[in-house]
Amino acid sequence: VEVARTRLGGAKLIVVANREPYIHRRANGGVELMRPAGGLTTALDPVMQACGGVWVGHGSGDADRETADARGRLAVPPDDPTYTLRRVWLTPEQEEGYYYGFANSTLWPLCHQVYRRPTFDPAHWAVYREVNELFAAAVLEEARGGPAVIFVQDYHFALLPGLLKAARPDLVVAQFWHVPWPNPETFRVCPWAGELLDGMLGNDLLGFHIQYHCNNFLETVDRTVESRICRERFSVGRGDRQTRVLPFPISVDPDLAAEYTVGWQDRVGELRAAHGLGDRPLVVGVDRVDYTKGIPERVRAVGRLLERHPEWVGKFHLVQLGAPSRTNLPAYRDLNAEVQTLADAVNRTHGTADWQPVVFVNRHCGPEDIYALYRDAAGCVVSSLHDGMNLVAKEFVTARDDGQGTLVLSQFTGAARELTDAVLVNPFDVDGLAAGLHAALAMPADEQRRRMRRMRAQVSDNNIYRWAGMLLSEASKLVPDADPPEV
């Protein structure tokens, strides 16, 4: 990151992400600071703390206005500020059409191939455009008066790069797409495919997690818009402009684990007592309750495991932390209830008077609770049906300074390309997922250590700072007057 910062050549770094890293909420008669669930903010906040600059995001907390200045700005982290958060205010209609509508009912299912039909609503599309313009205005204000590198995050802002370039051709614009990019047949059903791609081709640099998503994107462009694709340089040319399309697998800050696991034994003791877990081995799942995460599949697999291997009856718990997410949408709201119903059914069928196999904790938990469970667990299960990367898998690995613990990981995550020492599973195959849970619970300690050592080395080398460093130095090669890059 240090290298990238120097190479930014004095240009200001402005990150744009819908989700803000610090949310202020009214609670218990006062104001509470909350860290949102989800990989994007967890991954990017340490980078911003290291680089400084501005994070432009949606001011989503009900006490956000009173904790920011008149322009929505405040210094963060609040207790030890290193960068600026600029909150953009959305009306309830804008949040509905842009966030719940086009971003999460159209682009989210369109990019995740989990067989859920996306909504295509012209009213959502109009608001999505309007909100991209609103963010463009905020970014242009922050970038006034000098060179800047704008680092745009995710599918909420497909149109933003094009808008920024049209207004300020001198800005360096890079975007990272945190979700998968589907194959061209899937993407081109979107009535606004051409406009979305036009917007994204406003970027100088466009990053995806893995090469496969880059290839899918280039194929999609090739079949949808007039352009010159250079497959050797992985770039798209339009007029005199170029967009480079490269893979940058995102990661986590491995050092956060030491911070979050201070006193983990006490926390685990409390959690175990609160949920009647005794001292049995735990398998943990940590997710936003989202239909891409394969949570019902994993609860069913626990039932199947107990049928196939009754020797596990009474011997472990699946502790599933499920932070409610996007609950304005019926598909998300219903999923909380579905998981609870399934958990109850498995517990009724297989549980005993003093043992419940599945414990579903359907609320937002702080990082100290999450890391205490990671550190304590016999295993962690990530069974996403489709996932760009999945940072829970990487966080779990960083928490295991004891070198123990097994990771059961869906082969349909970006993380499965790097964490090949996990027990890789197909979550659509209940028997296979149950077999994976069995393998994880039964794995001999020396094999656990062998696998965990390699996974820890992987995440330690390819950490979030390396990700940001690679991406920002690639972007900074495009900054006019920046130092020439070292080779």
Would you tell me which residues interact with ligand G6P (CB under 6 A)?
19, 36, 38-40, 154, 178-179, 288, 325-326
Contacts of 215 (CB under 8 A, 6+ apart): none
Cα angle 456, 437, 373 (rounded to 5 degrees) comes to 55
**Residue 54, number of CB atoms within 10 A of its CB:** 22
Distance CA 428, CA 426 (A): 5
**Residue 239, number of CB atoms within 10 A of its CB:** 7
Distance CA 372, CA 392 (A): 13
Q: How far is the CB of 325 from ligand G6P (least distance, A)?
A: 5
CB closer to ligand G6P out of 25 and 309 = 25
Q: How far is the CB of 77 from ligand G6P (least distance, A)?
A: 18
Residues paired with 58 in a beta bridge: 19, 88
CB closer to ligand G6P out of 306 and 335 = 335
Distance CA 248, CA 467 (A): 6
Q: How far is the CB of 36 from ligand G6P (least distance, A)?
A: 6
Q: How far is the CB of 98 from ligand G6P (least distance, A)?
A: 12
CB closer to ligand G6P out of 250 and 441 = 250
Pairing relationship of beta strands 228-230 and 235-238 according to DSSP bridges: antiparallel
Please, where are the H alpha helices in 75-200?
92-94, 108-111, 122-142, 160-167, 184-187, 193-200
Residue nearest to ligand G6P (CB): 38
CB closer to ligand G6P out of 209 and 350 = 209
CB closer to ligand G6P out of 40 and 437 = 40
Task: Categorise residue 313: left if φ over 0, alpha if ψ from -120 to 50, beta otherwise.
Answer: beta
Q: How far is the CB of 324 from ligand G6P (least distance, A)?
A: 10
CB closer to ligand G6P out of 179 and 197 = 179
Distance CA 357, CA 158 (A): 43
CB closer to ligand G6P out of 38 and 237 = 38
Q: How far is the CB of 390 from ligand G6P (least distance, A)?
A: 9
Q: How far is the CB of 104 from ligand G6P (least distance, A)?
A: 6
